[in-house]
Structure formats: C-alpha cells, structure tokens
Amino acid sequence: MIYLILFIYLIITFWGSLVFGRGKSDTAENYFLAGRSLKTLTLFFTILATNFSAFYFLGFAGEGYRIGYAYYTMIAMGTSFAGISMYALGTRIWRAGREQGFVTPSELILARSGSKPLAALFALVMVIYTLPYLALQIVGGGYILEKLTNGDISYGMAVIVLTIFTIVYVLIGGMQSVARTDVKQGTLAFLLMTLAVIIITSKLGGITHANKELFTIRPELFSPQGEGGFYTPQKWFSYTVFWVFCIPMFPQLFMRFYVARTSAHLKKSIILYAIAPLFVSILPVIIGVLGHLTFPDLKGNEADQILPMMLVEHTGEWIGALVMVGAIAAFMSTLDSQLLALSTILTRDFYLPVTGRSKGFKGEVFIGRVSVVLLSLIGLIIAFNPFDTIFDMGKIAFAGLSILFPSAMMYVLGKPLPPLFAIISIVTGEALLLLFYYGILPQAWLMGFESFIPILVICFLIVAVGGWRKRK
Amino acid sequence: MSSINNDVLPAQLFALDQAIWPMYLLMVSLSGRKTRQHSWNTLCRTNSTPPGISLEQILLIFNLYSMRPGNRVIPLFIILGAFLLSQSNVLFSFSFTPLLLGLPTWTYWFIGTHVLLIVGLYLLMFRFRHK
C-alpha cells in the first residue's frame, strides 16, 4: 500500500513539473526566477514550503518531545518575527532586482559595494552553509522513507532515490516548476499533518484529555521555560531574534524576493507567512509532546524519530503512509529550492566570472543544470556521513548564514559601508562561530546566550564603525 | 451597587481611562486625515485629556504620528510592543495549567502577542500601499 501511495505522489509531482516547466525555462531569468512572475498565493506557499522542511516534521516534533510546549511558542514567534526583516529588506531587494536585473544575492552586493572579493565571499558563505542544510533534507527524507517501508528500502537507497527524483524535476522546470510544486507539496504536507494530529489525539482520548493526563505526569512540559528550565531568558531571547537575521539570508529565500510580480504581491505573501507559523508550528509539537504518553523514555537523538513512531503506533497503514508522504513532500520542497538557488549562485557568481563569459550566454541554463547534479552529489556525500544531529546541523547552517545579515542589510538599505568592513565583519563572525562550535572558545564567554547573538552584536558593531567612517 | 468599593472605583476608572486612550489614539490614527484633524481640534478645544496624560504628551503622539500618509511610527510601535511582550514569559510567572484544547494557559497570551505582530505588519503595508 505504501508503495502505491508513494508512486502516485511521485508521478503527480513529476507530471506537474513537466506541465509547469514546459517551455518556460529557455532563458536564465525564466529558469532561475520564473520570469519574475509569481503572485501572492504561489509566492506565499513557496516561501512557506521552502522554510518548513524536514526540520519541520522531524525537528519540531523532536524538540517538542525534548522541551515541551515552550518550543512551539518560541518557534512560532521567532519565525513570524522574521516577517519584519523580510518585509524591510524584501521589498527593496525586489525593487533592485526588477530595476537592475539581479538574479543572485551576490549580484546585488556587487552592484552596491563595487567589490568583487566581497561579492565572492558572500556567495561562498551562502554555498558553504547551505550545503549542511541541504544535506539535512536528504537525511530527513532518508529516515522517513526507511521508517515508512519498515526498512525494506534502506536509508542509503532512500536518500539516493529521493535525491535523483528531486534532481529530475528541478532540471526539467527550474523555478517555475519548483514554485508550482511547492504549492502542492506545502498544501499536502500541512493538511496531512493536521490529519495526523486529529487521528493521534483521538486515539489518545482527545487532545484536551491527552494534554491533561500528560500534565499530571510531566507538568514541566507545559511550563514556559520548558523541560529542565531549557529556556533561560538569554536562550529565549537568542532564539526569538535569531530567525529575524537568519531567514532572509537563506539563498533560496533571498532569491524568492526577486520572483514576485509586484511589490504588493511580495508584501501580502510576507504577511501571510508571518501568520502561518501560529497554526502550522503547533501540529508537530503536539505530536512530539504527547509522544511522552506512548514512548516515555526516548533519549537524545531517538526523539527525532518520535513523529514516525507515533504514526506507526497510532494510525493505520493508509494514514501513516499518507502523512509520511506529506513529510517527504516537505523535505523535497526545501531541497529543490536549495538546489536551484545554489546552482544559480555557482553558475552566475563563480562559473561566469571565472570563464569570462557574459551573463545570458546560451549555455547558462545548461551549466545551472550541471551544478544541480554536482550539488546533489555533495549533499548525498554529507547525508551518508552526517556530522551532527538534525537539530545541530540546522543550527550551524542557520548561524553561519545569519552572519551575512549586518553587511547585507547596509547594502540593501543603501547605507554607506566600505567593503573592507563588510569583509572583516563576515570573516570575524564566521571564525568566531566555528571557534565556539568546536569548543575552542569557552562557552562561559557567551553569558548564557547562544553563540550567534554575541557574534551578531560584534558583526553589527563592525559594520556600524565602517558606516560611520564612510560618512565622515 | 453595594458590591462596588468606592475607594477602588476612581482607581478602576483611572485604569480604564488609561487603557482606552491608546486604543482611541490608535483608532484616530487609522482613520482619514479629516477625522484626525477634527479629533485634534476637538481635543484642543475641550482640553479633555485623560487623568495622568498631559496635553503635551498627546501632542507628542500626534506629532510623531504626523498627518502625512506613509508615516510608520504607530505600526513600528505596535511591532516593537509585540516583540517586548514576546519576551515576557521568562520574566513573569504565567499559569501553565491546561486550558482550551489542553494547551498551557500562557500559550494563549503569546498567540495574542503574535496577533499584535500581524496587525503591526499589516498596518505597515497599509500605510505604504501607495508605494
């Protein structure tokens, strides 16, 4: 049965990419940016589906299990607050892209700063830190498909099959196909997750009953600070503001700002995006928290598997398979966007300058397609040897990208900033991040905050000094 | 009437007045230019300021939120307020007994904060729809 459902889903997605991509990927602008033609709803769904990934299905449920309902509030508030920075920068990025024909983030930075080294550094950081996030999607998809088939399809086979399938439909249709597929995949993922919550909670005696029962056993899961007082004031602040700086710096999201038909479409889609986490974030967290009633003693990374475990335990074969397909849809909708964004950056920010070819040359789309395959292979290699848990792989990728924010903000807002200061800000931030990640610098220096907060403060100070000097 | 404690009543009224005034100012600020001008004229003529708030303070608010469209003070003020309220769960002790759907009581406080953020963003877009 599961194979039938999976087969139908893959066929529908593939057919959609053929229909939407046909004849619309002839030029670089059409292939990479869907001809800058997306309207509010498509844009909203593609932004949402791009952001809510395998991390949404597995990571949110896992953190709900480990921390409790506090995780819902933090993630819903944090990702919604990203709407502020998306709004402030997004409309300006859209206008610049429309007027000057930018396709990648670095093209905007190059035009505003006039510095090729800075633009190259910007592109390089985006590629390096998006790769672990890209690999995270493949890892998540592999876990889900392996669980879904009770191990009939091994993890290794699962990641290869899903990655090849994603490559094919990205190659066929580019952004047009990716965005339209995101609408279907996003809708499917959230509807099926809602269905999963309804069925699981009804099997546990209803959501109110299940929560009240759990409250009598584990009240700390209902506390605002979370299990074990996880959210100290410093940590809460860190995670609430983090997304504001991080999300607009995802290359796949930065490029979404270019693809809107008008700024009004972009603004409306951002407001819809700010509303969505309130509803969609709660779903996997509920399953994760209530997982304590069925699986009370999961330790460490085992909690990442709580969603598939609850589905297998409480839903029938049909429903379980359907929800898992929804999770695969979420993973693929992020992976396709990342592949397309990174391939665009590799083609336009590295291949063209190195070979001396001009933008818009005939083979640009072909090089973009080759880059998609190359990046997928790198993602697969990381997925076969994941260097950390899903949560921590995501955290290092997000933190690395957020360090670009202070410099990007100055150039997008048209503020004066010498490129040297932007380079110092980015290099210093990335170096400090790695030093804290590998434990070379003591955690005590962070005063309870997550490492990216003091690092971002330092980066902002560097660009502020640079801006001040330039004005003088 | 016996249930009303007369000693507390002025304080209650004062609190109510304080609560209503920002709402009134918000509504006026969202209305058209003519309504805002009329409200300001009425306010100056009657000098009917609420207790604890001086005419100068109201003037300041009106100056901040000037008559021209595109002014972003109030939307940004609302967004800032939403952010400050979002930090309140680690500063204050909220009840976390299960409420509607069995979710902790405090989650509903944050849902309200979230709605405030959306309102701020919506107003920001509304004020700039001409651009």
Domains in chain A: boundaries = 2-398
Say whether B96 and A264 touch across the interface (CB within 8 A): no
Question: Rounded CA gap, A283 and A310, in Å?
Answer: 13
- Better-scored residue on pLDDT, B95 or A38: A38
Say whether B87 and A224 touch across the interface (CB within 8 A): no
The distance of Cα B118 from the centroid of its chain, to the nearest Å, equals 14
Asked if pLDDT for residue B17 goes beyond 70, the answer is: no
Same domain flag for B72 and B58: no
Same domain flag for B35 and B52: yes
The residue count for chain A: 472
Q: What is the mean pLDDT of chain A?
A: 84
Assess contact for A426 and A124: CB atoms under 8 A: no
Same domain flag for B47 and B94: no
The residue count for chain B: 131
Q: Which of B12, B38, B66 is the last residue of a domain?
A: B66
Residue-wise pLDDT for A166-204, tens only, equals 787 677 666 667 777 778 777 877 888 888 899 999 999
For the domain bounded by A2-398, which CATH number is listed? 1.20.1730.10
Asked if pLDDT for residue B8 goes beyond 50, the answer is: no
User: In this prediction, does ipTM exceed 0.90?
Assistant: no
Question: Rounded CA gap, A221 and A147, in Å?
Answer: 27
- Which pLDDT score is estimated for A49? 81
Assess contact for A67 and A269: CB atoms under 8 A: no
Asked if pLDDT for residue B50 goes beyond 70, the answer is: no
Say whether A223 and B79 touch across the interface (CB within 8 A): no
Residue-wise pLDDT for A377-422, tens only, equals 888 888 887 666 666 777 788 889 999 999 999 999 988 889 999 9
Q: Residue A21: which pLDDT band, with cuts at 50, 70 and 90?
A: low
What is the three-state SS of A163-176?
A: HHHHHHHHHHHHHH
- Which pLDDT score is estimated for A427? 96
CA distance B101 to chain A (A): 4
Same domain flag for B6 and B56: yes
Minimum CA–CA partner of B130 in chain A: A264
Say whether B110 and A232 touch across the interface (CB within 8 A): no
Q: How many domains does chain B have?
A: 2
Say whether A233 and B91 touch across the interface (CB within 8 A): yes
Same domain flag for B8 and B56: yes
Residue-wise pLDDT for A211-231, tens only, equals 999 999 988 899 888 888 888
Asked if pLDDT for residue B82 goes beyond 70, the answer is: yes
Q: Which of B27, B49, B66 is the last residue of a domain?
A: B66
Angle between helices A419-437 and A452-471 (to 10 degrees): 170
Asked if pLDDT for residue A289 goes beyond 90, the answer is: yes
Which residues in chain B have Cβ-Cβ distances shorter than 8 Å to A233?
A: 87, 90-91
Same domain flag for B60 and B81: no
Question: Rounded CA gap, A142 and A148, in Å?
Answer: 10
Same domain flag for B42 and B72: no
Q: Name the nearest CA neighbour of A55 among A135, A146, A147.
A: A135
Question: Rounded CA gap, B95 and B101, in Å?
Answer: 15
Residue with tokens 């100290």: A232
Residue-wise pLDDT for B112-131, tens only, equals 888 888 888 877 776 555 44
Residue-wise pLDDT for A64-114, tens only, equals 999 999 898 888 888 888 888 898 899 899 999 989 888 899 999 999 999
Same domain flag for B8 and B36: yes
Average confidence (pLDDT) over A441-459: 88
Residue-wise pLDDT for A306-358, tens only, equals 888 888 888 877 777 777 777 777 777 788 888 888 888 888 888 888 887 77
The range of the structural domain enclosing residue B50 comes to 1-66
Per DSSP, chain B holds a count of helices (H) and strands (E) of 5, 0
Chain A interface test: which of B86, B91, B93, B130 (most A C-beta within 10 Å): B86
- Which pLDDT score is estimated for B19? 58
According to DSSP, residue A152 is labeled: S
Question: Rounded CA gap, A277 and A288, in Å?
Answer: 17
The Cβ of residue B122 has, within 10 Å, a number of other Cβ atoms equal to: 17
Q: Residue A155: which pLDDT band, with cuts at 50, 70 and 90?
A: confident
Question: Rounded CA gap, A384 and A117, in Å?
Answer: 33
- Which pLDDT score is estimated for B128? 56
Q: Name the nearest CA neighbour of A55 among A423, A398, A415.
A: A398
Q: Round to the nearest angstrom and report the end-to-end CA distance of chain A.
A: 70
- Which pLDDT score is estimated for A81? 86
